[in-house]
Amino acid sequence: MLYATMVGLRYFALGLARDLCMVIAMPDHNPHPSLPVVVISVFGLYLIWVLAAWVTSDGAVLPGPAEVWRVGLLEGRSGELQRHIWATLKRVAMAFALAMVFGTVAGLLLGFYPYLNRWFGPWLIVLLNIPALVVIVLCYLWIGLNEVAAVTAVALNKMAMVAVTLREGVQALDPKLGEMARVFRMRPIQRLRHVTLPQLWPYFAASTRNGLAIIWKIVLVVEFLGRSDGIGFQIHLYFQLFETRYVLAYALSFVFLMLALEYGALQTLERRATRWRSASWV
């Protein structure tokens, strides 16, 4: 029985290696990884985790995936996992929306109006270099230990980054395309839709992707310091109890949610918005 299992694993590994070589060797002009590449990559990370857990042989330090999965199922059945994920998700959504709206407006104004950039550009440098922890602590001190302070602290930490990215996007607009729009006497709304927005979309997409990756981490710190629910609060709780299994279960549950949002929504929207690029090369 053991021999048959080993033979089966050997053929599975050989087939996986063959598929991986075919995927790597296949020419692909799509900048986004395909589903087989994503699955193989995540599976490789899973194998590294299994190997590291086997080497340490200490579940208190690094539990294996099966143990973390069991803890996640227990928390899910009790309803605690969903409750804390929802609390964190609400804060991420509110802070993300505020940061993107105000950051986009600020970036466009600084990009299209150089005199505003001369006067207020240094403000962005100051905001970018203030540590996130300082902003969080100050918001809690000035506003109080409440949701307004938590969301404001997270939004402030991300808004400057969005503004800088969009400002650079505006400054990188192709002037020749603007001249073409003027020659063809395009209306302002047509120029915005067909000339300006397609060029700014990669910068907006980068701000969106980086924003989600950074904001939810800052939200965890906010919850760690001054909230009574959320993934960060649970991580703080089980950190004090030295329960690595629960820390990993709560952290990875939200990571998987963000991965699903990245590959299921953001990249789909980005591909649809940048179809004109691939069509222009045909």
Walk along the chain (282 residues) and give the pLDDT tens digit of each residue.
434 444 444 444 445 445 444 444 444 445 556 667 777 888 888 899 889 888 888 878 888 888 999 999 999 999 899 999 999 999 999 999 999 999 999 999 999 899 999 999 899 889 889 898 999 999 999 998 899 999 999 999 889 999 999 998 888 887 777 777 777 777 777 777 777 787 888 888 888 888 888 888 899 999 998 888 889 999 999 999 888 999 999 999 888 888 787 777 667 666 665 665 555 544
**CATH (residue range 82-280):** 1.10.3720.10
Provide the residue type at 1 as one letter: M
CB within 8 Å of 55: residues ≥ 6 apart? none
- Torsion, CA 131, CA 132, CA 138, CA 140, rounded to 10: -160
What residue spans define the domains of the chain?
Answer: 82-280
- Cβ distance 234 to 84 under 8 Å? yes
- Please state, in angstroms and rounded to a whole number, the distance separating the CA atoms of residues 51 and 53: 5
- Please state, in angstroms and rounded to a whole number, the distance separating the CA atoms of residues 54 and 123: 50
